[in-house]
């Protein structure tokens, strides 16, 4: 890095706790590097942020709580205003500011509860509004951090907090049940932020969206960092580096027996070495046919994408059918849906195909867990009986685990896009490509302002998804040596 | 998605999915190479035929058994994957004697569709056996309300109101006071509750609290009152264990096990008699009668008015989805279990949390169980953390157990770890990046075992080494065998097994190897397994007087992605903070030969 590290911003913010669980190096970069080096949010991430802000206001505004403004970055003043409001016993506070030595949190909500504290016969508990549909660790740590700071002003660390989730549900967090973990996370994040604990860049699944990707990814690429090898964790990365293995090339040519004798954990080491070789050679290693469940006469493919910004509602429903064993989509259907009626209609059409007499017992191929979850959601929306839904989902064959058994691929994450590229002989997707549902939807929306164009692009994405599924299905079962230069 | 559906709808969906998961899971499993299946603990290979007794009891020589199989499991005995006629025959796993290496299985007359060559090596693979059809049939009865279906429906849907019969409570109170050896206070309360509360009473029995003792007395009392009682559980082993205790508690009772003969192997030599099925019970002989069967053997009793009371043992291991199979057999229910210990085993991965919930846990939400609060197993130090963490501090050791101390011979290299004054201790070895096998930990565990057995002359039968991972257990067994052999010791090995296979057992000294030291790996899909609070509870509560947990500090430092995982890890972090620890350098832990 050309930039001289400074510890100019060593204040620990709540979002550092949010980041910390994902990538601790991000916390270190926040504390040391000039913000101008950050990569601006891509349009999909911006959309996510904007949606988050809008959703937050939808939840918070109707509560009518007084809001705390921050004037000219004067956090001390904002914290004092927050404290004044707390002392006055208002039922809730919107965007209150809590500070402590080297710490700052701004929970979306502070709400008053009965129970004595230094403020009187009541105290406050923190809460955040999140678009996610289930409570996640990063969000819980953020709320726990706010609770830690609340203790300074009310003399009581609240035993509970809460999250308002994407479906509007309010989830009470038992903060006592995660208190030690919050303390540990805060201590570790502060050590990282202040430079006491050293971190190094590491290629992980969140790099594609990270604000520091412009700093880390070029460096990792130029150094051919060993973290690109799938299956390595930060801990194993550290162990390998300590034993002199820092690059893909070094791992690919490493003496496994020597490394094990030197104390490198042996489980999974051989696979990691082969994964490194596969990346270097750009070819599939240990290729073999695996007995993936196959249809008797016909085979089905399903590709359903759901929109996290619309509470996980499916927006793209695609299905295809082909003769057993060929891995080719003979006929297909694609529906782009945005209303409840459209979803019900698509679900009915999907079921009609999947349950039709000719294919009623044949496997339905998918990749990963998103499509089965979306199918279940569609069936629920249609009021399908549990027996039917259970029987249908029981036929689903997830190709993802079969891919790994079929060979070691020259890919970084074994994502659908990467695996499909191998199966279809296409170039590997870029490192910062995000292939989630939001990307598919937003890429289509941003590329075409005309709704019909959006629909056409999404339909094309659906067809491509089906073709990729079929290609993966055929590739997994064929066992033919595959080779592709990266 | 799941919140709006009724419990019965959710169960029905789960059963359909589970059925496919069982079949597809088995099909996928059998496509794995043999070595991988053995490594995963699904298959036992290299077995040798020793003989077969009338009734299909087959004895096999097995040099090492670290498979997942448990008594009652449906397996297939065959020569190999590819041998001619390799389909083999269906058998039921019965028992394994570690000292002699003899493994016993029983032929299953309903799956005798293949053959095997006695002179060739044999292997045991799991068989796909889905009993979801039976559970769906039971669920349909519950929905229709036939027999006791309407009561069961109310119970499962959370609509039942339990009442206490004051007269029955008085009688139970008097009866309880007369029982010898006398009940402790919480056993007394649980006994009285079981006899007076209708239609459901729950008894929660933490480790070593005399759960089966209370269950046996409840059954005897119900039978003495004239109630027709059936005792059931998810496995033959659990049913048989309960029946043995009942027969011991009241020799005047006629105690009968109904079900296939292979499920009654461990009842040989006991007063418990066997019947082929519920339909073929011997005629009454004037004595009060208690019948036992697994939940899958009760179908004949659903509409037949054969029983008044159903007593479910190990009810925290009966999946809610299968509960109807048991509950339809009567109109009054006593469920005994502990939902803070290992729960039901489910084949598929289901989004609905109800999939892994036991009937006991489900009911305990709305009907607080009677908690047995005195443990007769653990001393004060071993009991302290589990009591605080899993039982709200309500579990206390009996006076005799509390002060019991580990007896050991000082003067060895590991005296600090064996110190009886510290009943529970963490041995922290700073290793990094291990997932399922850690040589530093294995060597330390072996060094401790060698010191205990060879230098101190301790009985291996009073020692257990426990780990979540089979790969680690294999390594420990190999190293320990070699160490014992080098020391000229030819006796039996201590128990070296997974937590799942030692639930219900206890030892003076338990050494636990946590193995994993890769927090990011632990934070992923693996978190639910490794950090399971229930598994931790069972792990920590096997020891009577001395518990040594060998681990890397990194085992306590993961941040799983979901909140439930975070709460599980919190218990590990507290264990680390609240348990005395001795830090050992890698060098100190590894060169065991020099220290031992």
DSSP, residue by residue, A175-202: GGGGHHHHHHHHHHHHHHHHTSS-----
Sheet holding A12-13, edge to edge: A12-13, A103-105, A98-100
Would you say residue A122 has pLDDT above 70?
Answer: yes
What pLDDT does A292 receive? 84
pLDDT tens string A312-342: 788 899 999 988 877 788 889 999 988 889 9
Burial class (CB in 10 A: 0-12, 13-18, 19+), B421: exposed
CB A165 within 8 A of CB A46: no
Residues of A in contact with B437 (CB under 8 A): 265-267
pLDDT tens string A36-91: 999 998 777 787 788 889 899 999 999 999 999 999 889 999 999 999 999 999 99
Cβ within 8 Å, pair B9-A233: no
A38-42, A250-254, B351-355, B549-553, range with the lowest pLDDT: B351-355
Best A267, A290, A292 member to test B by mutation, with max B CBs in 10 Å, is: A267
Start-to-end Cα distance in chain A: 27
Query: When comparing pLDDT for B400 and B348, which is higher?
Result: B400
- B-chain residue closest to A383, CA distance: B5
Question: If you average pLDDT over residues B218-226, what whole number do you get?
Answer: 95
What pLDDT does A403 receive? 94
Would you say residue A344 has pLDDT above 90?
Answer: yes
Cβ within 8 Å, pair B436-A267: yes
Would you say residue B84 has pLDDT above 60?
Answer: no
| Facing B433 at nearest CB: one of A181, A235, A290 | A235
Residues of B in contact with A239 (CB under 8 A): 432-433
**How close A480 comes to chain B (CA, Å)?**
18
Best B6, B15, B17 member to test A by mutation, with max A CBs in 10 Å, is: B17
Would you say residue B384 has pLDDT above 50?
Answer: yes
Cβ within 8 Å, pair B570-A178: yes
Question: If you average pLDDT over residues B136-144, what whole number do you get?
Answer: 94
> Could you check whether the bond before residue A34 is cis, i.e. omega within 30 degrees of 0?
no
Would you say residue B575 has pLDDT above 50?
Answer: yes
A382-396, A446-460, B536-550, range with the lowest pLDDT: A446-460
What phi and psi values does residue B67 have, to the nearest 5 degrees? -75, 165
A134-138, A183-187, A215-219, range with the lowest pLDDT: A134-138
What pLDDT does A445 receive? 65
| Facing B554 at nearest CB: one of A173, A235, A266 | A235
> Can you give the pTM of this predicted structure?
0.89
Reported confidence tier of residue A2, pLDDT bands at 50, 70, 90: very low
pLDDT tens string A75-86: 999 999 999 999
pLDDT tens string A291-308: 888 888 889 999 998 877
Question: If you average pLDDT over residues B514-542, what whole number do you get?
Answer: 94
**How close A36 comes to chain B (CA, Å)?**
30
A61-70, A158-167, B10-19, B467-476, range with the lowest pLDDT: B10-19
**How close B556 comes to chain A (CA, Å)?**
10
Would you say residue A6 has pLDDT above 70?
Answer: no
**Interface size between A and B, measured as CB pairs under 8 A:** 127
DSSP A292: -
Distance between CA B551 and CA B548 in Å, rounded?
10
Would you say residue A411 has pLDDT above 90?
Answer: yes
| Facing A137 at nearest CB: one of B21, B435, B563 | B563
Reported confidence tier of residue A438, pLDDT bands at 50, 70, 90: low
- B-chain residue closest to A386, CA distance: B13
**How close B586 comes to chain A (CA, Å)?**
10
Cβ within 8 Å, pair A390-B559: no
A78-82, A170-174, B115-119, range with the lowest pLDDT: B115-119
Question: If you average pLDDT over residues B471-484, what whole number do you get?
Answer: 93
Reported confidence tier of residue A131, pLDDT bands at 50, 70, 90: confident
B218-232, B336-350, B424-438, range with the lowest pLDDT: B336-350
Sheet holding A313-323, edge to edge: A331-336, A313-323, A298-307, A364-366, A396-398
Best B15, B16, B517 member to test A by mutation, with max A CBs in 10 Å, is: B16
Residues of B in contact with A265 (CB under 8 A): 431-435, 437-438, 517-518
Would you say residue B114 has pLDDT above 90?
Answer: no
What phi and psi values does residue A339 have, to the nearest 5 degrees? -115, 165
Cβ within 8 Å, pair A180-B577: yes
Cβ within 8 Å, pair A235-B518: yes
Query: When comparing pLDDT for B587 and A382, which is higher?
Result: A382
Cα torsion A355, A359, A362, A365 to 10°: value is -70
Would you say residue B43 has pLDDT above 70?
Answer: yes
Cβ within 8 Å, pair B586-A263: yes
**How close B197 comes to chain A (CA, Å)?**
33
Q: Please tell me if residue B135 touches chain A, with a CB cutoff of 8 Å.
A: no
- B-chain residue closest to A177, CA distance: B567
Cβ within 8 Å, pair B562-A135: yes
Would you say residue A371 has pLDDT above 80?
Answer: yes
What phi and psi values does residue A134 have, to the nearest 5 degrees? -135, 155
pLDDT tens string B233-287: 998 889 999 999 999 999 999 999 998 776 777 788 899 999 988 888 888 878 8
Bridge partners of B89, per DSSP, are: B77
Q: What sign results for the dihedral spanned by CA atoms A227, A228, A232, A234?
A: positive
Residues of A in contact with B9 (CB under 8 A): 386
Reported confidence tier of residue B331, pLDDT bands at 50, 70, 90: very high
Average pLDDT over chain B reads 90
Look at residue B528 and give its three-state secondary structure: helix
Q: DSSP labels for B161-208?
A: --EE-HHHHHHHHHHHHT-SSPP-HHHHHHHHHHHHEESEEEEE--TT
CB B331 within 8 A of CB B148: yes
What pLDDT does A285 receive? 93
Reported confidence tier of residue B454, pLDDT bands at 50, 70, 90: very high
Cβ within 8 Å, pair B15-A390: yes
Distance between CA B214 and CA B224 in Å, rounded?
15
Half-sphere exposure of residue B534: CA atoms within 13 angstroms, side-chain side: 20
Q: DSSP labels for A39-108?
A: PPPPHHHHHHHHHHHHHHHHHHGGGTPPBPP--TT-HHHHHHHHHHHHHHT-SEEES--EEETTEEE--S
Tally: H helices and E strands in chain B: 22, 24
| Facing B17 at nearest CB: one of A21, A265, A393 | A393
Distance between CA B298 and CA B279 in Å, rounded?
9
**How close B584 comes to chain A (CA, Å)?**
16
Would you say residue B463 has pLDDT above 90?
Answer: yes
Reported confidence tier of residue B97, pLDDT bands at 50, 70, 90: confident
pLDDT tens string A100-109: 998 999 999 9
């Amino acid at each position: 890095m050309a930039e001289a590290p400074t510890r100019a911003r060593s204040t620990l913010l709540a979002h550092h706790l949010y980041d910390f669980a994902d990538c601790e190096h991000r916390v270190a970069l926040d504390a040391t590097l000039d913000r101008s080096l950050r990569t601006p949010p891509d349009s999909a991430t911006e959309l996510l942020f904007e949606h988050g802000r809008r959703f937050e206001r939808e939840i918070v505004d109707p509560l009518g709580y007084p809001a705390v403004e921050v004037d000219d970055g004067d956090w001390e003043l904002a914290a004092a205003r927050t404290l004044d409001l707390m002392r006055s016993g208002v039922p809730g506070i919107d965007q209150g500011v809590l500070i402590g030595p080297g710490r700052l949190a701004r929970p979306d909500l502070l709400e008053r509860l009965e129970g004595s504290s230094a403020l009187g016969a009541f105290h406050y508990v923190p809460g955040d509004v999140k678009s996610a549909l289930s409570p996640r660790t990063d969000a819980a740590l953020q709320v726990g951090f706010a609770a830690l700071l609340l203790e300074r002003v009310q003399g009581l660390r609240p035993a509970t907090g809460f999250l308002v989730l994407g479906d509007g549900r309010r989830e009470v967090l038992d903060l006592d049940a995660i208190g030690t973990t919050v303390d540990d996370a805060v201590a570790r994040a502060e050590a990282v932020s202040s430079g006491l604990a050293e971190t190094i860049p590491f290629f992980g699944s969140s790099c594609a969206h990270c604000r520091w990707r412009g700093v880390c990814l070029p460096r990792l690429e130029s150094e051919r960092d060993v973290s690109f090898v799938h299956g390595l964790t930060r801990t194993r990365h550290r162990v390998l580096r300590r034993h002199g293995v820092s690059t893909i090339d070094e791992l690919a040519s490493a003496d496994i027996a020597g490394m094990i004798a030197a104390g490198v954990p042996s489980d999974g080491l051989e696979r990691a070495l082969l994964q490194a070789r596969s990346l270097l050679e750009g070819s599939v290693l240990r290729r073999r046919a695996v007995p993936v469940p196959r249809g008797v006469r016909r085979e089905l493919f399903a590709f359903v994408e759901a929109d996290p910004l619309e509470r996980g509602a499916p927006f793209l429903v695609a299905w295809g059918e082909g003769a057993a064993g060929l891995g080719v989509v003979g006929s297909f259907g694609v529906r782009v849906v945005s209303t409840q009626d459209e979803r019900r209609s698509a679900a009915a059409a999907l079921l009609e195909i999947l349950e039709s007499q000719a294919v009623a017992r044949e496997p339905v191929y998918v990749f990963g867990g998103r499509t089965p979850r979306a199918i279940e959601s569609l069936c629920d929306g249609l009021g399908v009986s549990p027996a039917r839904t259970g029987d249908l989902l029981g036929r689903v064959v997830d190709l993802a685990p079969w891919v790994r058994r079929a060979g070691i691929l020259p890919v970084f994450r074994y994502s659908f896009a990467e695996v499909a590229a191998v199966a279809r002989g296409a170039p590997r997707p870029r490192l910062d490509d995000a292939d989630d549902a939001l990307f598919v939807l937003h890429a289509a929306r941003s590329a075409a302002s005309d709704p019909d164009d959006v629909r056409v692009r999404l339909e094309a994405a659906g067809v491509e998804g089906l073709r990729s599924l079929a290609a993966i299905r055929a590739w997994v079962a064929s066992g033919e040596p595959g080779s592709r230069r990266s | 998605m799941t919140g709006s559906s009724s419990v019965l709808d959710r169960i029905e969906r789960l059963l359909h999915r589970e059925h496919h998961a069982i079949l597809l899971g088995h099909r996928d499993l059998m496509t794995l190479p043999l070595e991988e299946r053995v490594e995963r603990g699904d298959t036992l290979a290299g077995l040798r035929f020793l003989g077969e007794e009338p009734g299909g009891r087959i004895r096999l020589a097995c040099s090492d058994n670290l498979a997942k199989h448990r008594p009652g499991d449906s397996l297939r005995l065959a020569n190999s994957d590819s041998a001619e006629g390799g389909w083999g025959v269906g058998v039921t796993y019965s028992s394994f004697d570690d000292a002699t290496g003899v493994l016993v299985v029983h032929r299953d007359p309903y799956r005798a569709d293949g053959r095997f060559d006695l002179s060739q090596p044999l292997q045991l693979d799991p068989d796909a056996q889905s009993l979801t059809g039976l559970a769906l049939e039971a669920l349909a009865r519950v929905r229709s309300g036939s027999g006791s279906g309407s009561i069961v429906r109310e119970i499962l849907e959370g609509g039942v109101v339990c009442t206490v019969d004051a007269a029955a409570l008085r009688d139970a109170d008097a009866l309880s006071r007369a029982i010898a050896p006398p009940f402790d206070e919480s056993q007394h309360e649980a006994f009285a509750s079981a006899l007076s509360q209708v239609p459901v009473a729950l008894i929660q029995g933490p480790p070593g609290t005399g759960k089966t003792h209370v269950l046996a007395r409840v059954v005897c009392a119900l039978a003495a009152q004239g109630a027709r009682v059936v005792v059931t559980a998810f496995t033959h082993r659990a049913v048989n264990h309960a029946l043995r205790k009942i027969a011991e508690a009241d020799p005047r009772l006629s105690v009968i096990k109904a079900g296939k003969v292979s499920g009654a192997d461990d009842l040989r030599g006991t007063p418990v008699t066997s019947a082929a099925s519920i339909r073929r019970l011997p005629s009454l002989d004037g004595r009060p009668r208690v019948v036992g069967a697994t939940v899958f053997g009760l179908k004949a009793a659903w509409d037949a008015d054969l029983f008044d009371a159903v007593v479910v043992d190990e009810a925290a291991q009966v999946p809610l989805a299968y509960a109807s199979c048991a509950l339809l057999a009567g109109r009054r229910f006593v469920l005994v279990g502990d939902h803070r210990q290992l729960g039901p085993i489910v084949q598929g991965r289901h989004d609905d949390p109800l999939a892994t919930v036991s009937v006991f846990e489900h009911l305990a939400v709305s009907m607080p169980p009677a908690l047995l609060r005195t443990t007769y197993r653990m001393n004060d130090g071993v009991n302290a953390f589990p009591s605080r963490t899993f039982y709200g501090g309500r579990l206390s050791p009996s006076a005799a157990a509390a002060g019991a101390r580990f007896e050991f011979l000082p003067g060895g290299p590991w005296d600090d770890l064996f110190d009886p004054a510290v009943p529970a201790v963490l041995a922290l070895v700073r290793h990094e990046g291990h997932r399922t096998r850690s040589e530093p930990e294995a060597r330390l565990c072996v060094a401790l075992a060698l010191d205990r057995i060879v230098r101190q002359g301790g009985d291996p039968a009073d020692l257990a080494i426990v780990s979540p991972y089979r790969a680690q257990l294999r390594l420990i067994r190999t190293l320990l065998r070699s160490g014992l052999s080098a020391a000229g010791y030819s006796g039996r090995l201590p128990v070296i097994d997974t937590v799942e296979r030692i639930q219900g057992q206890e030892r003076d000294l338990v050494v636990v190897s946590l193995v994993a030291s890769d927090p990011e790996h632990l934070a992923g899909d693996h978190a639910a397994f490794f950090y399971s609070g229930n598994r931790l509870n069972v792990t920590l509560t096997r020891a009577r007087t001395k518990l040594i947990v060998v681990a890397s500090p990194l085992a306590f430092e993961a941040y799983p992605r979901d909140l439930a995982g975070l709460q599980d890890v919190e218990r590990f972090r507290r264990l680390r903070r609240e348990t005395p620890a001795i830090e050992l350098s890698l060098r100190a832990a590894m060169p065991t030969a020099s220290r031992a």
